[in-house]
């Protein structure tokens, strides 16, 4: 047990989550040879605790149990205690979350699992309280019962572990389709309509509380609307996004979105901010702007990128992982306000106006009479009440926001996990690159390029990609999520910059991922590289959860690479996987939202526009493509006779056709005659079937 002021082994780890537990009296190990060898040598069970640095309930359990000397003494006497950062080892988390599912529970963090020395689980759960409550035993009661079972009834424990192992094997491949069926546009529409039936018609989002952004599901609704013309699909997505943008889940002062809303109304969030959520929401805001341009979408995107630059970017330009929910030991304390606090900053009259604009009440919408800021009252209504023009009201609100943000910056901020994760950076590169085109913000593409350069320079060594960079060190062999996420980000970055180096890097990563992760027998992608020695069962990257699965990301990258490079091999890879998953994904579209978006591109024949001609002539063509919602359409650009090698197949036979620039619209590797003007390109796109339908398809079932 640690003496006061002493630390345990976790003090030497780079993970902020592990270091959060360095002062615990628990004899913690990081996952690795030392811990696993001790368990085998002493034949002691392993107490495995998995969490992440921004996890509120992880902090609660640490304070209640891991900081308690008596609990720590019991843990140290009976178990080998191992801490894992789920953001560093998502494969371990994926395996052992299955234990809770097999026990009929709901997974989450902290994850608490008990293993044999051979890493086979025999019991698991999530948070356990220090005293019995809500049907849960106290943590110490659980420790005593499992220790006694290991000592006195080991045969039964090992028998149960064997059953768990068999169950985990079945879970690992659950969802792999049995039939191989080509996907169609009608399938995409059917998947979207199925999701639409679960949309909350009043508050948006799917189901009741708690509500997660579920950006992949919203993107699928928009894809289904494009194919059917069914306005209910479009409005379900845009109304949800509007409720998030104006709600408390959106940081109204600092920008960016919190993890989820604890209520149905998007009012009170769980306050942690994740890089991946914000990457996906930035991309969705840009799609919404293409469909229904609004000042609110642009403002929200701009503030998100400002937050990213101000609080989430390292010196090299790469992006940090998370921000905590807690500050000063309290969840949300940094973000909430009372009317008195507003008036102290703004004065009485402006404070009262700000309270009306931001939904701050005397009773409070959170705890201790504090409110989470919202923007539910329309600007036009505020302007009318204040006797202002809308533009004047907008300027006033912006000045108030700046004052409140400056005041908030004096508070003690939440902690930040500054690790750089390759896959999550890939998602933000993808979002920034696409948003830079739609919102006409080339500096956002420059941010994306800087991040891409940092990740590739520091985390790609020869043919080996590392998942984590932190404290000057790159570590942990990358998972499919990292290879696929970076590949998807790089193909988006190429389309924002037309710099061939990004496309070349994407090809390299996509090919490397196929070689490392594709299982030809299962016709599916592994989560971890072949032969990962410390996994009790081999796992497959199937479901889209909070983060798109590595398989969905790689499929997206592959089908776009097919369009941009003219390589049928990339299309065949995407076809093989999507066809394998088609029936399962139709049965459960919630779990495959991002895969359906990749399948949408495949069903359209991997379409692209090739802009051939002088770079100076591209701008009006690029603007049309950026402002048009054609989500399956990729874009390449090169000068005649000067295409880089990676574009050789696409460029073959294409000229400017006697104009400064000609645009070729291609599908299934076959191109139309070149359009020599912007008007001609717009007409070609209207005739292509790639744009949203202006009216519902005859006979297409409406959303219930």
Residue 141 Cα distances to 111, 133, 207, 376, 456, angstroms? 17, 12, 36, 47, 48
End position of a domain, from candidates 173, 193, 219:
173
Contact 442, 436 (CB under 8 A): yes
Alpha helices, DSSP H only, in 183-294? 185-196, 215-228, 231-246, 275-291
Query: What number is the average pLDDT over the span 399-419?
Result: 96
**pLDDT tens, 44-53?**
999 999 999 9
Q: How far is CA 161 from the centre of its chain?
A: 33
Q: Is residue 101 scored above 60 in pLDDT?
A: yes
Query: What number is the average pLDDT over the span 289-308?
Result: 97
The pLDDT value recorded for residue 136 is: 86
| Same domain membership, residue 245 and residue 339 | no
| Same domain membership, residue 442 and residue 575 | yes
The pLDDT value recorded for residue 693 is: 82
| Same domain membership, residue 153 and residue 290 | no
End position of a domain, from candidates 359, 392, 410:
410
How far apart are alpha carbons 563 and 570 in whole angstroms? 9
**DSSP letter assigned to residue 65:** I
Contact 130, 64 (CB under 8 A): yes
Residue 108 Cα distances to 100, 169, 549, angstroms? 9, 20, 17
How far apart are alpha carbons 632 and 622 in whole angstroms? 16
Contact 671, 566 (CB under 8 A): no
How far apart are alpha carbons 232 and 453 in whole angstroms? 41
> What percentage of the chain's residues is helix, strand, coil (to nearest 5)?
50, 15, 35
- Those residues with Cβ within 8 angstroms of residue 395's Cβ, 6 or more apart along the chain or in another chain: none
The pLDDT value recorded for residue 181 is: 87
Contact 488, 556 (CB under 8 A): yes
Alpha helices, DSSP H only, in 29-108? 33-42, 56-61, 69-78, 90-102
| Same domain membership, residue 359 and residue 319 | no
How far apart are alpha carbons 599 and 580 in whole angstroms? 12
| Same domain membership, residue 46 and residue 152 | yes
| Element holding 83 (H helix, E strand) | strand 80-85
| Element holding 47 (H helix, E strand) | strand 46-51
- Those residues with Cβ within 8 angstroms of residue 344's Cβ, 6 or more apart along the chain or in another chain: 351
**DSSP letter assigned to residue 199:** B
Least confident of 47-61, 140-154, 537-551, 685-699: 685-699
Crossing angle of the two packed helices 295-311 and 275-291, in degrees rounded to 10:
160
Q: Is residue 702 scored above 60 in pLDDT?
A: no
Contact 549, 524 (CB under 8 A): no
Q: Is residue 599 scored above 80 in pLDDT?
A: yes
Q: How many CB atoms lie within 10 A of CB 347?
A: 12
| Same domain membership, residue 568 and residue 452 | yes
How far apart are alpha carbons 268 and 250 in whole angstroms? 10
| Same domain membership, residue 425 and residue 354 | no
Is 694 within the bounds of a domain? Answer: no
Is 466 within the bounds of a domain? Answer: yes
How far apart are alpha carbons 653 and 116 in whole angstroms? 63
How many domains does the structure of the chain reveal?
4
3-state secondary structure 534-586: CCCCCCECCCCCCCCCHHHHHHHHHHHHHHHHCCHHHHHHHHHHHHHHHHHHH
- Those residues with Cβ within 8 angstroms of residue 331's Cβ, 6 or more apart along the chain or in another chain: 56, 270, 271, 325
Is 699 within the bounds of a domain? Answer: no
Is 320 within the bounds of a domain? Answer: yes
Query: What number is the average pLDDT over the span 486-508?
Result: 98
Q: Is residue 549 scored above 80 in pLDDT?
A: yes
| Element holding 341 (H helix, E strand) | helix 339-346
| Same domain membership, residue 498 and residue 551 | yes
| Same domain membership, residue 287 and residue 168 | no
Q: 3-state DSSP call for residue 287?
A: helix
How far apart are alpha carbons 551 and 541 in whole angstroms? 6
Strand 416-417 vs strand 634-638: parallel, antiparallel, or unpaired? Answer: unpaired
In the chain, the N- to C-terminal Cα span, in Å, equals 61
143-163 burial, b at 16+ Cβ within 10 Å, e below that, comes to beebbebbeeeeeebeebbee
Contact 58, 109 (CB under 8 A): yes
Is 422 within the bounds of a domain? Answer: yes
Q: Is residue 165 scored above 80 in pLDDT?
A: yes
| Length of the chain counted residue by residue | 704
Percentage of the residues of the chain whose pLDDT score is greater than 70: 98
| Same domain membership, residue 574 and residue 532 | yes
Query: What number is the average pLDDT over the span 357-376?
Result: 96
Where residue 564 falls (left for φ over 0; alpha for ψ -120 to 50; beta otherwise) is alpha
Percentage of the residues of the chain whose pLDDT score is greater than 90: 92
Strand partners, 460: 465
Contact 492, 556 (CB under 8 A): no
Is 180 within the bounds of a domain? Answer: no
In whole numbers, what is the pLDDT of the chain averaged over residues?
95
How far apart are alpha carbons 342 and 96 in whole angstroms? 46
Residue 140 Cα distances to 132, 144, 418, angstroms? 10, 6, 33
Domain, as residue range, for 265: 185-328+417-603
Residue predicted with more confidence, 63 or 658? 63
| Same domain membership, residue 613 and residue 550 | no
Is 700 within the bounds of a domain? Answer: no
Give ∠ CA 403-263-416 in degrees, rounded to 5.
50
**pLDDT tens, 622-636?**
999 999 999 999 999
Q: How many CB atoms lie within 10 A of CB 394?
A: 16
Q: Is residue 698 scored above 50 in pLDDT?
A: no
Strand 608-613 vs strand 634-638: parallel, antiparallel, or unpaired? Answer: parallel
Alpha helices, DSSP H only, in 269-338? 275-291, 295-311
Q: Is residue 311 scored above 80 in pLDDT?
A: yes
Residue predicted with more confidence, 114 or 702? 114
How far apart are alpha carbons 654 and 647 in whole angstroms? 11
Is 576 within the bounds of a domain? Answer: yes
| Same domain membership, residue 630 and residue 671 | yes
Residue 234 Cα distances to 205, 220, 250, 642, angstroms? 13, 10, 21, 41
How far apart are alpha carbons 114 and 381 in whole angstroms? 57
How far apart are alpha carbons 224 and 413 in whole angstroms? 41
End position of a domain, from candidates 380, 410, 440:
410
Strand partners, 319: 313
CATH number (domain holding residue 312): 1.50.10.10
């Amino acid at each position: 047990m640690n003496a006061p002021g002493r630390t345990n082994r976790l003090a030497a780890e780079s993970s902020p989550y592990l270091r959060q537990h360095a002062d615990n009296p628990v004899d913690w190990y990081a996952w690795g040879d030392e811990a696993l060898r001790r368990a085998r040598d002493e034949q002691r069970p392993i107490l495995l605790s998995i969490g992440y640095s921004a996890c509120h309930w992880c902090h609660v359990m640490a304070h209640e149990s891991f900081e308690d000397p008596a609990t720590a003494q019991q843990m140290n006497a009976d178990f080998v205690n191992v801490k894992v950062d789920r953001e560093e080892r998502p494969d371990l988390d994926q395996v052992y979350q299955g234990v809770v599912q097999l026990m009929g529970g709901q997974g989450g963090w902290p994850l608490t699992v008990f293993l044999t020395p051979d890493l086979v689980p025999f019991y698991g759960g999530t948070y356990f309280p220090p005293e019995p409550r809500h049907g849960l035993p106290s943590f110490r009661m659980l420790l005593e019962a499992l220790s006694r079972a290991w000592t006195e009834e080991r045969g039964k424990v090992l028998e149960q572990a064997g059953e768990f192992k068999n169950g985990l094997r079945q879970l690992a491949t659950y969802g792999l389709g049995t039939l191989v069926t080509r996907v169609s546009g009608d399938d995409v529409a059917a998947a979207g309509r199925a999701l639409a039936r679960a949309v909350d018609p009043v508050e948006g989002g799917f189901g009741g509380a708690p509500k997660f952004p579920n950006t992949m599901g919203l993107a699928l609704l928009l894809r289904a609307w494009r194919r059917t013309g069914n306005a209910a699909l479009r409005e379900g997505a845009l109304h949800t996004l509007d409720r998030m943008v104006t709600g408390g889940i959106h940081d109204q002062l600092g920008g960016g979105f919190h993890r989820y809303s604890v209520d149905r109304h998007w009012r009170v969030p769980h306050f942690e901010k994740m890089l991946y959520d914000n990457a996906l929401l930035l991309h969705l805001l840009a799609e919404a702007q293409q469909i229904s341009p609004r000042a609110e979408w642009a403002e929200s995107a701009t503030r998100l990128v400002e937050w990213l630059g101000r609080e989430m970017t390292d010196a090299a330009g790469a992006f940090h992982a998370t921000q905590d929910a807690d500050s000063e030991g309290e969840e949300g304390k940094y973000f909430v306000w009372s009317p008195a606090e507003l008036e102290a900053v703004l004065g009485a009259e402006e404070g009262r106006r700000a309270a009306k604009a931001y939904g701050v009440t005397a009773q409070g919408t959170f705890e201790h009479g504090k409110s989470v800021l919202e923007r539910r009252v329309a600007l036009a209504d505020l302007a009318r009440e204040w006797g202002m023009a809308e533009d004047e009201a907008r300027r006033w609100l912006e000045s108030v926001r700046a004052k409140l943000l400056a005041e908030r910056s004096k508070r003690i901020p939440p902690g930040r996990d500054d690790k750089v994760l390759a896959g999550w950076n890939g998602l933000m590169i993808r979002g920034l690159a696409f948003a830079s085109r739609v919102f006409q913000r080339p500096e956002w593409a420059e941010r994306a390029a800087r991040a891409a350069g940092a990740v590739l320079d520091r985390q790609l060594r020869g043919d080996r990609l590392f998942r984590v960079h932190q404290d000057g060190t790159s570590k942990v062999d990358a998972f499919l999520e990292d290879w696929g996420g970076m590949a998807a980000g790089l193909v988006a970055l190429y389309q924002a910059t037309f710099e061939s180096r990004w496309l070349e890097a994407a090809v390299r990563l996509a090919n490397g991922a196929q070689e490392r992760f594709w299982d030809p027998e299962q016709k599916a992608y592994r989560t971890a590289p072949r032969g990962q020695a410390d996994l009790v069962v081999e796992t497959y990257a199937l479901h889209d959860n909070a983060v798109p699965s590595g398989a969905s990301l790689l499929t997206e990258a592959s089908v776009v690479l097919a369009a941009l490079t003219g390589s049928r091999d990339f299309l065949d890879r995407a076809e093989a996987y999507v066809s394998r998953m088609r029936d399962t994904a139709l049965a459960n579209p919630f779990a495959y939202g991002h895969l359906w978006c990749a399948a949408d591109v495949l069903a359209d024949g991997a379409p692209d526009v090739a802009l051939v001609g002088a770079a100076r002539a591209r701008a009006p063509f690029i603007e049309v493509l950026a402002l048009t919602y054609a989500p399956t359409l990729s874009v390449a650009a090169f000068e005649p006779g000067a295409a880089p090698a990676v574009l050789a197949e696409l460029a073959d036979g294409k000229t400017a056709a006697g104009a400064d620039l000609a645009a070729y619209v291609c599908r299934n590797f076959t191109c139309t005659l070149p359009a020599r003007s912007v008007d001609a390109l717009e007409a070609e796109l209207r005739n292509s079937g790639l744009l949203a339908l202006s009216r519902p398809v005859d006979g297409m079932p409406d959303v219930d």
